[in-house]
Amino acid sequence: MTRSLAGALLANITGAALLLSAAFAQTSEEQTDTNDEAATAAPTIPSQAGLDAWEAAYKVFSHPRCVNCHTADEYPRWSGPSYGEARVHGMNVQRGPAGFGMAGMQCITCHGNENSAKLHGPPGNDVWHLAPVEMAWWEKSSAEICEQIKDPERNGGRTLEEVATHIRDDGLVLWGWDPGPGREPAPGSAQETYALIVKWAAEGAPCPLP
Amino acid sequence: MQLTVNGNSLDIDAEPDMPLLWALRDIANIRGPKFGCGIAMCGACTVLVNGQPRRSCSLPIGDVDGEVTTVEGLADGDTLHAVQQAWIAEQVPQCGYCQSGQIMSAVALLEEVDNPSDEDIDNAMAGNLCRCGTYTQIRAAIKRAAGSKAGA
């Protein structure tokens, strides 16, 4: 049994134990009903195929082309193989009230509709902006991002199917695989990542332990 | 290709991937915007497109989607723009190379924020570098221009 599978199994067993503990605190009538449910609900083993699909997708979600603009603070990041240590975006660039930059210096001041052809020139896309704070992934673990992706409050109000199609079809997401000269693209392709999310969702969208 | 620059319609005979700065300086002979870094890192080439500051060294003319304003287009006849007047009053420039970009960013800031704080100025102007270090004069000039606009 792999470590991740064992961990996820432990998580499910722990969940079942908590369910039983909560049932003991209830009234006798409720206790009887809940114990009946608990007795019939055996702990489920998360799909290893689902966990594997997630881990492959996580390599995309956690890649610099994605996380650099999925930050929890006001600043995008510069990082990746050509940048050495990760650093805050230069020029005091900030998120601004809507994620498109500050008055007098919005993202579009430098980031046009397409990538600069010059090394270290500004990358571009039709719409360039930071992800909302609740969708921050910067320096978050696989387990943390996995739970975020399943939470409509933190994934842009999307179902898992909509998450998959967003990855496949959104222009700014697609930029991650076509980032311009000198930048490492996100792993795989948009289509492959779409397929990973579809697979992960079909397998019950299991998440690794924190 | 047609570009509208400072209210004039210009016929630019160039490929659509030519940077706007090249078209302005080398074809239209509009030399206010300067070449600094060529990768949108210094701000010397800043112009306005539909009122928003853009780094013209990294903006292909095929992607210009509105009216372009350079420092040459700010004055109203013989009357300089409030920011230009403030720049003179505060004696901002030293070598002057970055100043047209600085002025264009300042104009854009004041269009959005009537009375900018130091923080507002830092947030808007940090992408315009000045090797002479005229930042304190720039800040003073922006505040002076804000005051003159308020009194206009």
DSSP-derived pairing of the beta strands B2-5 and B46-49: unpaired
In what helix (H) or strand (E) does residue B85 lie, and over which residues does it extend? helix B82-89
User: Does pLDDT of A38 surpass 90?
Assistant: no
d(CA A166, CA A22): 38
Interchain CB distance below 8 Å, A116 and B58: yes
Q: Name the residue in chain A with its Cα closest to that of B59.
A: A112
d(CA B19, CA B15): 9
Residue B52's SS3 state is: strand
User: Does pLDDT of A30 surpass 60?
Assistant: no
In what helix (H) or strand (E) does residue B111 lie, and over which residues does it extend? helix B99-112
Q: Give pLDDT tens digits for B68-99.
A: 999 999 999 999 999 999 999 999 999 999 99
Q: Give pLDDT tens digits for B108-140.
A: 999 999 999 999 999 999 999 999 999 999 999
Lowest mean pLDDT among A8-22, A81-95, B40-54: A8-22
Q: Which residues contact A98 (CB under 8 A, 6 or more apart)?
A: A129
Q: Where are the domains of chain B?
A: 2-73, 82-151
Q: Give pLDDT tens digits for A102-151.
A: 999 999 999 999 999 999 999 999 999 999 999 999 999 999 999 999 99
User: Does pLDDT of A11 surpass 60?
Assistant: no
For chain B, list residues whose CB is within 8 angstroms of any CB belonging to chain A.
17, 38-41, 46, 52-55, 58-60, 63, 105-106, 108-109, 112-113, 120, 122-127
The whole-number pLDDT of residue A40 equals: 60
Architecture of domain B82-151: Orthogonal Bundle (1.10)
Q: Between A and B, how many CB-CB pairs are < 8 A?
A: 78
Confidence tier at B67 by pLDDT (50, 70, 90): very high
Contact B81, B74 (CB under 8 A): yes
Looking at residues A55-63, what average pLDDT do you find? 97
Cβ neighbour number for residue A177 with a 10 Å cutoff = 18
Contact A42, A50 (CB under 8 A): no
Q: What is the 3-state secondary structure (H, E, C) of chain A?
A: CCHHHHHHHHHHHHHHHHHHHHHHCCCHHHHHHHHHHHHHCCCCCCCHHHHHHHHHHHHHHCCHHHHCCCCCCCCCEEEECCCEEEEECCCCCCCCCCCCEECCEEHHHCCCCCCCCCCCCCCCCCCCCCCCHHHCCCCCCHHHHHHHHHCCCCCCCCCHHHHHHHHHHCHHHHHCCCCCCCCCCCCCCHHHHHHHHHHHHHCCCCCCCC
Q: State the sign of the Cα–Cα–Cα–Cα dihedral A141, A142, A147, A152.
A: positive
Q: Among residues A106, A145, A128, which one has the least CA distance to residue A180?
A: A128
Share of chain A above pLDDT 90, in %: 72
User: Does pLDDT of A25 surpass 60?
Assistant: no
The whole-number pLDDT of residue A36 equals: 52
Q: What is the ipTM of this complex?
A: 0.95
Lowest mean pLDDT among A7-21, A50-64, A147-161, B69-83: A7-21
Share of chain A above pLDDT 70, in %: 80
d(CA A54, CA A157): 20
d(CA A206, CA B23): 55
The whole-number pLDDT of residue A125 equals: 95
Query: For residue A115, which residues of chain B lie inside 8 Å, CB to CB?
Result: none
For chain A, list residues whose CB is within 8 angstroms of any CB belonging to chain B.
90-94, 102-106, 108-110, 112-114, 116-122
Q: Give pLDDT tens digits for A150-202.
A: 999 999 999 999 999 999 999 999 999 999 998 999 999 999 999 999 999 99
Six-digit token pair at B110? 């004041």
Interchain CB distance below 8 Å, B55 and A121: no
Q: Among residues B101, B72, B99, which one has the least CA distance to residue B10?
A: B72
Six-digit token pair at A95? 């998120």
User: Does pLDDT of A42 surpass 70?
Assistant: no
What is each CA distance from A199 to A54, B25, B36, B43, in whole angstroms? 9, 54, 49, 46
Confidence tier at B150 by pLDDT (50, 70, 90): low
Confidence tier at A3 by pLDDT (50, 70, 90): very low
Six-digit token pair at A17? 């134990």
Least CB–CB distance from B55: residue in A90, A110, A117: A110
Looking at residues B103-108, what average pLDDT do you find? 98
The whole-number pLDDT of residue A83 equals: 73
Share of chain B above pLDDT 70, in %: 97
d(CA A161, CA A192): 14
Specify the CATH number for B2-73; select among 3.40.50.10860, 3.40.50.720, 3.10.20.30, 3.30.479.10: 3.10.20.30
Confidence tier at A24 by pLDDT (50, 70, 90): very low
Contact B117, B97 (CB under 8 A): no
Q: Given its phi and psi angles, is residue A126 left (phi above 0), alpha (psi -120 to 50 degrees) or beta?
A: alpha
